[in-house]
Chain A
Amino acid sequence: MKALLQKDFYETVTSMRAVFLVILIFTAVSLLTPASSIIIPYLVILPGTTVATILNLEEQNGWMVYAGTLPVRRRTQVMEKYLYGALLVAGGSLLALLIQWTYTFRGQAEFQPAVSFLSYLSIGLMAPALLLPFAYWLGAEKGRYITMFLVIGIVMLVLTQSRDSGTILPASVPVWAVFPACVVIYLVSMFLSMRIYEKKELTR
C-alpha cells in the first residue's frame, strides 16, 4: 500500500504540473479579485478526478500489469486508489476552505467552516466514487469520456445550485445528513471497484 501511495504521489507531482499551475492561477485570481465561488468547485472536484487520470496513465504505460507482478493484492491496489483520492479531496477541500475564509474579510459570504468543509468533502468524494468503477470496468479510454461528462454535469449542477448559499451544496440540503451518505457511497463504490478489478484480465 505504501509503495503504491508513493508511486501515485510521484505520478501526481511529475505528470500533473499543468493542473497545479492552473489551481495556483485560479487561487491567486480568486484572492486578488472580488469574491467569486468559481474556484471552490474546481478545487473540490478536480483532486478527486486526479485518481481517474492516474488510472488512465497506468493503463497506457502498462503499470496495471506491472503492479500485478508485485506482492500486492488487487483489492489493496483499488483500496489505495480510493485512499489516495480521499487524501487529495481533503487537501483540495482545505484549500477551498482557506479561500472561502478570505472572503469573510471582504464581507461577501457567511463562513461556517465545519459545514463548508463537510460539503466540500461530500461533493469532492462523489467524483472518484462515480468515476473509478467506470474506469476499472470499461478501461481508460471509455472511462475518460464518462469522466468528462460526469464532471461537467457535477460542476454545472453545483454552480447552478450553490449561488449565495455559502457552501457548494444547495442551501436546502442538510450537510450533516449528506456527508455520511457520501462516505457510504464512496465505500460502496470502492467495494464495487474491487469486485470489478479482481475479475479483470490484465493483458497490457
Chain B
Amino acid sequence: MNAIEVKDLCKEYPGFTLDHVSLTLPSGCILGLVGENGAGKSTMIRLMLGLIRKSGGSISLLGSEAGDANASVRDDIGVVLDNVGLPLRIKTKEVGKIMAKAFSRWDQAAYEGYLQRFRIPQDKRFMEMSNGTKMKLGLAIALSHNAKLLILDEATNGLDPVARDDVNSILMEFTRDENHSILISSHIVGDLEKLCDYIAFLHKGKLLLCEEKDVLASEYVVVRGTKEELNELPSSAVLHKETTPYSAAAIARRDAVPEGMTVSPVSIEELFVSMVKSESYDNTLL
C-alpha cells in the first residue's frame, strides 16, 4: 500500500498556483520535498492535511481520502509543521495529558522518553521554550502515538546540528518498520540526502521531478573541464553550466557524457539548484 498518493493536485491563490502535482510515497519509505521559499511545499502539506481546500485533484493518505470527513485517519499520522501551535502557557506534562485524550494509541512512556532524550523538562511552559525546543516537543508528540506516517514541514530547520542529527537517527529508526513512512520538507537538502529514499523537487508550484534518490544519483553527474570541452556536451543533456575564468563545470545526464571527460557524483542540492536555474528543465525533464 502507498502511504501517500497525490494525483493532479491543484490549488489556486492570487499570484500562485500549485499546478497538477502528482506523487506517490510507498510504505516504508522517506520522501523528501525540496523547494525554495514559496515553491508550494507548505501548501501541498496543508492540502494533504485538509487545512486548506484543494481546487482539483485527489489525495489519499494511508488508503483513505484526505480531508475533514476522514479526520480519524489522522490518528495514524504524526504531524509537525513549521509552527508548533500549542497554547503558550501550557506545560509539557499537560500537553501529554491532552494528547493522551486526543490519540487512541497514545504512548505516555514513549512521550516521556522523548522528553528526556530531547532534554525538555516536564514543568516547562511552551512560551519559555526556544524555537528549537518547541520543534522537539512537536516531534515528541508526533512520535508518541504510534503513527504510521509522519508529515514534517520544515520540522528540523530550527534545530542545532547535534539535535538535527539525533532527530535524523530517530526518523531512520522509525522507518525500519516497513509500515512506517515519512514525508519531510526542508531547506536543508543535505539532511534530506542522508535520510530520503525518494526526492521530489517543487518549483513555483510545479513538480520538477519525483524520483528515487539512487536513480537521480546514477542519472546525473558533474562534468568538469575547460569551457571548450564542456561545449562538446549535447545541449539537451546539460541541466546547468557554470564557467569562471579558471574553470568550467556542468551538470549533465551521465549517458550523454563522452568518454574521457572528468565526472564526479552530483549532490541532490547541486541537482536541485541546477534544475531551478536551468531554463531548459521543462524541455528535458517534464
Binding site for B on A (CB under 8 A): 2-4, 6-7, 10-11, 14-15, 57-58, 61-74, 76, 198-199, 201-204
Contacts and interface: CB of A to CB of B under 8 A. Distances in A.
Interface string B45-61: 01001111100000000
A193 to B, nearest CB: 15
Given A61-B88, A69-B79, A10 B94 contact: yes
B116 interface: no
Interface of B: 46, 49-53, 68-69, 71-75, 77, 79, 81, 83-90, 94, 97-104
Nearest to A72: B71
A62 B85 contact: yes
A7 B81 contact: no
B68 A198 contact: yes
- Indicate the member of A14, A69, A71, A199 with the most B CB atoms within 10 Å: A69
B81 A73 contact: no
A11 B126 CA distance: 12
Contacts of A2: 101
A45 to B, nearest CB: 24
Main secondary structure of the interface of A (DSSP, over half): helix
8 contacts: A15-B88, A62-B85, A63-B86, A66-B85, A68-B49, A70-B71, A199-B53, A203-B51
A181 B116 CA distance: 53
Closest 8 CB pairs of A and B: A62-B85, A66-B85, A3-B101, A3-B102, A14-B89, A69-B79, A71-B75, A202-B51
Contact of B90 (A10, A69, A76): A10
A66 B86 contact: yes
A3 B85 contact: no
Contacts of A11: 87, 89-90
B85 A64 contact: yes
A61 B71 CA distance: 22
Given A10-B90, A65-B51, A72 B102 contact: yes
Nearest to A202: B51
Contact of A70 (B69, B84, B94, B102): B102
Nearest to B89: A14
- Indicate the member of A71, A203, A204 with the most B CB atoms within 10 Å: A71
A113 B99 CA distance: 40
Contact of B103 (A7, A10, A68, A71): A71
Contact of A69 (B52, B74, B101): B74
Contacts of B73: 71
A57 B229 CA distance: 62
Nearest to A54: B87
A6 B97 contact: yes
A7 B75 CA distance: 18
Contacts of B94: 10
B90 A14 contact: yes
- Indicate the member of A68, A76, A201 with the most B CB atoms within 10 Å: A68
A62 B102 CA distance: 17
B72 A71 contact: yes
A6 B102 CA distance: 10
B85 to A, nearest CB: 3
- Indicate the member of B51, B90, B101 with the most A CB atoms within 10 Å: B51
A15 B89 CA distance: 7
Contacts of A204: 83
Contact of B51 (A15, A58, A76, A201): A201
A10 B49 CA distance: 26
Given A6-B97, A10-B90, A65 B83 contact: yes
A204 B42 CA distance: 11
Contacts of B68: 73-74, 198
A73 B71 CA distance: 6
Contact of B74 (A57, A71, A202): A71
Nearest to B50: A68
Contacts of B102: 3-4, 70-72
Contacts of B83: 62, 65, 204
Contacts of A202: 46, 51-52
A3 B103 CA distance: 9
